[in-house]
């Protein structure tokens, strides 16, 4: 398996929540991905970038998108979509910063799989054109079309103890009765 990495810069936004549910559960804000830089800027991680009435944006830092040669068909499907996406996985932390960027991926299946933890926030964001070009180059270099193999079921083994006419027999309705005769 071949692995390559693409480094990106990630901007996240801390948004104020205004709802009865949020207040009842002590949740006053939510984190979400806001932007991706194809080339990470020379800025310290968790630098505030600006505020609005809706929330505050932070440069979260530089992160790697891992590309694996075994997943090229998933990347290809993503690039063929109307709007190629990146999946950003944010995980709550108890310290500062209050959220950890757990992963950034271009694989839709991996992004979906990250939702199973229950505590992760997984959101998509538009993929920069430069990143899409790098992924397309990786697909071109490493994609191998794999045939879809349909599993064949094993036939039930012959049980020497079973004799036709003995044991449970069909009752005419597709069921077997336990007496061996007609029901």
- DSSP code string of the chain: --EEEEEEEEEEEEEE--SHHHHHTT--EEEEEEEEESS--S--TTEEEEE-SSEEEEEEEEEEEEEEGGGHHHHHHHHHSSS-EEEEEEEE-SSSSSEEEEEEES-HHHHHHGGGGSS-EEEEEEPPHHHHHHHHHHHHHH----PPPPPPPPPPPP-TT--TTSS-EE-SSS-EETTSS--
pLDDT in tens, 68-116: 999 999 999 999 999 999 999 999 887 788 899 999 999 999 999 999 8
pTM of the model: 0.76
| 11-15, 23-27, 91-95, 179-183: range with lowest mean pLDDT | 179-183
pLDDT in tens, 37-50: 999 999 999 999 99
Question: Phi/psi class of residue 26: alpha, beta or left (left: φ > 0; alpha: ψ in -120 to 50)?
Answer: left
pLDDT in tens, 160-171: 555 666 655 556
pLDDT for residue 97: 86
């Amino acid at each position: 398996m071949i692995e390559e990495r693409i480094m990106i810069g990630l901007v996240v936004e801390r948004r104020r929540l205004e709802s009865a549910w949020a207040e009842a559960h002590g949740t006053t804000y939510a984190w979400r991905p806001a932007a991706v830089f194809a080339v990470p800027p020379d800025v310290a991680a968790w630098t505030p970038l600006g505020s609005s009435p809706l929330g505050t944006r932070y440069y979260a830092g530089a992160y790697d998108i891992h590309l694996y040669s075994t997943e090229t068909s998933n990347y290809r499907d993503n690039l063929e979509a109307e709007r190629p996406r990146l999946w950003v996985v944010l995980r709550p932390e108890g310290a500062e910063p209050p959220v950890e960027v757990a992963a950034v991926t271009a694989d839709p299946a991996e992004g979906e799989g990250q939702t199973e933890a229950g505590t992760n926030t997984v959101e998509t964001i538009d993929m920069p054109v430069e990143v899409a070009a790098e992924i397309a180059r990786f697909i071109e270099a490493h994609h191998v079309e794999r045939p879809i193999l349909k599993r064949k079921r094993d036939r039930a083994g012959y049980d020497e103890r079973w004799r036709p006419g003995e044991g449970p027999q069909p009752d005419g309705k597709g069921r077997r009765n336990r007496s061996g005769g007609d029901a």
